[in-house]
Amino acid sequence: MASSSSSSHLVATVFLLTAVSLFSPSQSATCASQTFTGGRDRVYTFCTDLPALDSYLHWSYDQSESTLSIAFVAAPTRPDGWISWSINPTGTGMVGAQALAAFRDSRGGMAVKTYNVTGYGPLKESRVWYEVKESSAEYSGGVMRLFATLVLPEKGMTAVNHVWQVGPSVTGGVPDKHEGQSNGATGGNSKTNKRNIHGILNVVSWGIMFPIGIVMARYLRTFPSADPAWFYLHVSCQVSAYAIGVAGWATGLKLGSESKGVTYSYHRNIGIALFVLSTLQVFALLLRPKKDHKYRLYWNIYHHGVGYSVLILSIINVFKGFDILKPEPKWENAYIIVIGIVGGIALLLEAITWTVVVRRRKSKNQSLAP
């Protein structure tokens, strides 16, 4: 398979995957006899003989710091080949794997690069789900050893799905596909499609429509000519956003149930809070008192407080989602531009409405003056 300097055909359908407990000791004989140069920094708590490719994994995990230190040992298919070890935080296949790859660079030294495997096509070197605190690799005796210290995004994890593979060659600083690799399969992208659908639904609903609905209610009602049109626009926008958001929330629950060993605690908990608060808002609409009712003031305080809480949590969780999905930067930048425009319009309308309110008060005071 061809390769270029800007893309990588690093992995495909025959990646090997299993789950590894971050705390389970190994009973493996071969890995236990392996030692590494580098002193105490390369002494690991656990190890396992992996079930394929004559490969081995050593690891230590600091749960309080969410730091995972690993040593992956494998022989590349050929001396100028590559080895790769990955974590898949979203599923049990190649798609979604967050890969570390080690190979010889053009100067003969060892290089370690990261890849976010979003599909079966060519990949570019990219940032990954975890932070790579440090990484290195070495080659001797026909065996490559990949060392890395990773900071996992979620604290308290007890297991991860991990993926590994080896390949025969590197062209132009880009790992070539491994032997027997196919060009991919359309069915393998189902997990990625679900994640993308989840992200799109939630960005559109919680991240864009809810803020726009709040802007409509806050500023249009200042103008008598917009009453009651502003109310129906507000309700229509928020109810539509709620329906789309619930669909996105349900998709997220489904993805969570399919992602064994991985929990995005903050993203999940904020999502649950958003669902509860927005559901309360929908029911509050049915209990809305008339303007002159003695409880209308308390209802307004509740409605506005919950509404602004949903607004803040929505935007926070959208960015949490971007951190998890790690799409191309253009998508996150596009959202920043959209929400920036909405915020700019809100600031402009804030100035206009305050001007209108101040003028009305002055006019009222003048009319009341003797």
CA distance 182 to 366: 81
- Give the model's pLDDT for residue 135: 86
Q: What are 259-293's pLDDT values in tens digits?
A: 654 567 788 899 999 999 999 988 888 888 888 88
CA distance 129 to 97: 9
Which of the two residues, 31 and 152, has the higher pLDDT score? 152
CA distance 92 to 262: 11
Which residues make Cβ contacts (< 8 Å) with residue 355, sequence separation at least 6? Answer: none
Give the up-direction half-sphere exposure of residue 63: CA atoms within 13 A in the CB hemisphere: 7
Angle between helices 229-258 and 190-202 (to 10 degrees): 150
Q: What are 203-242's pLDDT values in tens digits?
A: 999 999 999 999 998 888 888 888 888 889 999 999 999 9
Phi, psi of 188 (to 5 degrees): -75, -10
Q: What percent of the chain has pLDDT over 70?
A: 79
- Give the model's pLDDT for residue 90: 74
Indicate the range of 31-45, 196-210, 262-276, 344-358 predicted with least confidence: 31-45
- Give the model's pLDDT for residue 119: 67
- Give the model's pLDDT for residue 16: 46
- Give the model's pLDDT for residue 317: 93
- Give the model's pLDDT for residue 182: 36
Greatest mean pLDDT among 41-50, 103-112, 142-151, 359-368 lies in 142-151
Phi, psi of 261 (to 5 degrees): 80, 0
Which of the two residues, 324 and 217, has the higher pLDDT score? 217
Which residues make Cβ contacts (< 8 Å) with residue 222, sequence separation at least 6? Answer: 353, 356, 357
Angle between helices 229-258 and 265-286 (to 10 degrees): 150
Indicate the range of 51-65, 147-161, 270-284, 319-333 predicted with least confidence: 147-161
Q: What percent of the chain has pLDDT over 90?
A: 22
Task: Give the pLDDT band of residue 186 (cuts 50, 70, 90).
Answer: very low
Structure tokens, 354:
């305050």
